[in-house]
Amino acid sequence: MRLCNKAIIWINGAFGIGKTTVAQKLQKRLPNSLIFDPEEVGFMLRSILKPIDWSGNFQDYPMWRILVPEVARLLEQDYHRTLIVPMSICRSDYFSEVIDNMKKFDQDFHHFCLVASVETIQQRLTARGQSGTEDWAMSQIDECVRSLHSELFVDKLDAETKSPDQLVEQILKKIKVS
């Protein structure tokens, strides 16, 4: 058995569930990998477009859903590395649009969805200084948790009871190829 040479590993889940922590630990274990955070693409678009067009979520920009797969394609093409993508996409139509386009250039695509209870996610966000109904991430928890129960988000990993290191081990076992 060997680890895949080049792939895309998308780590999905509600805001505050631990995607970035898992991605960073996974990168340390996977030689020849990069973390690609699609939020950076969203921040760029929001910075440019917010004065004229802002819904409150940069994923609502069709351009974001086009640019994320394109940036991933270029990163793979130019750097020949496995991409680790920690990003919440809870809307099934946006998820399908982005993921389908990514699979067009890399069939070695893995999606993992970290799941935990609303209470656990709230505690984690509070611990990192986010709280109250005015906090964007806090306001998204219920919808995210509900949406991610869809059958579309198939490979669910228990972030409630598993540590980030245990989640990384689960991911590494699942991405092995013959």
User: pLDDT in tens for each of the 178 residues of the chain?
Assistant: 344 468 999 999 998 899 999 999 999 999 899 999 999 999 999 999 999 999 889 999 999 999 999 999 999 999 999 999 999 999 999 999 999 999 999 989 999 999 999 898 888 888 887 776 667 787 888 888 888 888 888 899 999 999 999 999 999 999 973 2
- Tell the residue number behind the tokens 């973390």, with chain if given: 35
Contacts of 152 (CB under 8 A, 6+ apart): 92, 95, 96
State the alpha helices, DSSP H only, in the chain: 19-29, 39-49, 62-79, 92-105, 118-127, 136-147, 164-174
Q: Which helix (H) or strand (E) holds 85?
A: strand 82-86
2-177 belongs to which homologous superfamily? P-loop containing nucleotide triphosphate hydrolases (3.40.50.300)
State the pLDDT at residue 143: 87
Q: With contact defined as beta carbons under 8 Å apart, do 72 and 102 qualify?
A: yes
